[in-house]
């Protein structure tokens, strides 16, 4: 949420006890922040995975992206952390199969 948008949000009721409007404000603010982080993380991934499908990167890339993208409060950067699934994938010696199919595409398997 931009600072300008936050400044433009106004609360009618200023009380701090049973203030549903204040609770709604904080919930919307957090939902917008979460949506922004999800979007940034999805754009960093140079692959398609799950519901995050990209035309420019239509397949999965397990070699480079079988990771979780982690960010911390107040830090605008993400770091890669190997996911538990990656350890199993590496242990089994699987190779990048590029199995993601985009919307409307049938699997070739």
Read off the pLDDT of residues 40-71 as tens digits, 9 standing for 90 and up. Answer: 988 988 999 888 889 999 999 888 888 888 88
Q: Where residue 94 falls among pLDDT bands split at 50, 70, 90?
A: low
Q: Are 33 and 40 in contact (CB under 8 A)?
A: no
Distance CA 28, CA 104 (A): 33
Residue range 77-106: average pLDDT? Answer: 62
20-39 tens-digit pLDDT? 888 888 899 899 889 988 89
Distance CA 37, CA 69 (A): 10
Lowest average pLDDT, out of 8-22, 23-37, 78-92, 93-107, goes to 93-107
Q: What is the pTM of this model?
A: 0.62
60-68 LR contacts (CB < 8 Å, sep 24+): 60/96, 60/97, 60/98, 60/99, 60/100, 61/96, 61/98, 62/86, 62/89, 62/94, 62/95, 62/96, 62/97, 63/96
Only one residue has tokens 């999800």, namely 38
């Amino acid at each position: 949420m931009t600072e300008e948008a936050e400044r433009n949000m106004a609360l009618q009721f200023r009380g701090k006890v049973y203030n549903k409007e204040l609770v709604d404000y904080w919930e919307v603010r957090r939902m917008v922040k979460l949506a922004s982080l999800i979007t940034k993380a999805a754009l960093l991934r140079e692959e398609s995975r799950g519901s995050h499908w990209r035309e420019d990167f239509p397949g999965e890339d397990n070699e480079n992206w079988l990771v979780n993208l982690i960010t911390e409060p107040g830090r605008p950067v993400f770091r890669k952390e190997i996911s538990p699934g990656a350890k199993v994938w590496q242990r089994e010696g699987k190779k990048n199969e590029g199995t993601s199919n985009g919307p409307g595409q049938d699997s070739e398997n």
